[in-house]
Amino acid sequence: MFTWLTELSSNSNHFMPHGACYLWQQSILLLHVISDTLIASAYYSIPVALGYFVHRRTDLTYRWVFLLFGGFILLCGTTHLLSIWTIWYPNYWLAGWVKAITALASCITAVLIWPLIPKLLSLPSPEALASSEAYMRAIFDCTPDSILITDDKGVISLVNHEAQHLLGYPHDELIGTTIDNLFPTPSKNAYASLRAHCIDNATIDLEPITQTFSVLTKFGHEIEVSLRLSIINTKQGLYFACTLRDITQEKQAENALKASEERFRRMANASPTMIWITDASGKFSFINQTWLNFTGIKPADALELGLSSSLNPPRRSSSFY
């Protein structure tokens, strides 16, 4: 075995250098040497480019194809370097074995590439991807809720038209900034905690979380929103879809209703007349203080008993029978 390796790497006395076939003419030697050098340089640069591409594009489906082509092209470049070497040194066994390995790699590549062609043809074209992206973008922008897409640091990478309208910022002023800047201090801390919770639980199938926050518009106005945070787990990293719905008017209506109910309660309790409200079954939903004073029944007991059970037997009979 060692004899074979020695013969493989050493000059053979049985052969003459390839340069003799060129009659050692300088012009033809330079032609072949320069050509093979340029070809080898190009062949060696292509695998480097493919390797860099595969390294940067971690989402590639057929990574092995690029690596296989890179290895095959690298071997092709080596055969051209050996063509230069054998001009002066007749290591034809070494050159032959490198060619044999190159042939094997070439055949493997050729055999594997044909079954892959239908799958490659089924991949969407750039035009189809652009059309699909435009379609999804139209849906994204037509959504009535404000949507912001951020990374795990909170940096905004995508916003829809409604978000720009709600917050008062143009598109370019939102992209690249952090979503934390849109919250006043209390809400900013709460949102940071919520995002940290989602990051800590990103490995499980976490349901979207909805909470109420205050956000600041570009003009300094503070509005209340219902914020829904969803995790987007991709090969490129963790992203968040933050959906905002303005609930300022809902909160104002809710507060107005509470204030109205409180005014009614005060007015009813101040009335000398007994006032109560029941449903169709006679269950109380409101009892004023005059009613409680007259009957002597505690509020909790009255609400539990209902109107029929709260009245004494004679009144119950006359009222309901």
Q: Which tens digit of pLDDT belongs to each residue from 198-225? A: 888 877 777 888 999 999 999 988 889 9
**What CA–CA distance (Å, rounded) separates 165 from 251?**
20
**What CA–CA distance (Å, rounded) separates 160 from 245?**
13
Give the confidence band of 311 by pLDDT, cuts at 50, 70, 90.
Answer: low
Structural domains of the chain, ranges and CATH numbers in brackets: 2-122 (no CATH), 133-249 (3.30.450.20), 263-320 (no CATH)
**What CA–CA distance (Å, rounded) separates 292 from 231?**
53
At which residue do the structure tokens 């309208």 appear? 165
Q: Is the pTM of this model over 0.75?
A: no
Q: What are phi and psi for residue 146, nearest 5 degrees?
A: -80, 130
Give the pLDDT of residue 314.
45
Which tens digit of pLDDT belongs to each residue from 134-154? 888 888 888 889 999 999 899
165's tokens? 């309208």
Mean pLDDT of the chain: 85
**Lowest-confidence range among 48-52, 57-61, 272-276?**
57-61
Q: Which residues pair with 244 in a beta bridge?
A: 146, 227
Give the confidence band of 227 by pLDDT, cuts at 50, 70, 90.
Answer: very high
Give the pLDDT of residue 86.
92
C-alpha pair distances (Å), 74 with each of 43, 46, 52, 56, 152: 6, 8, 15, 20, 40
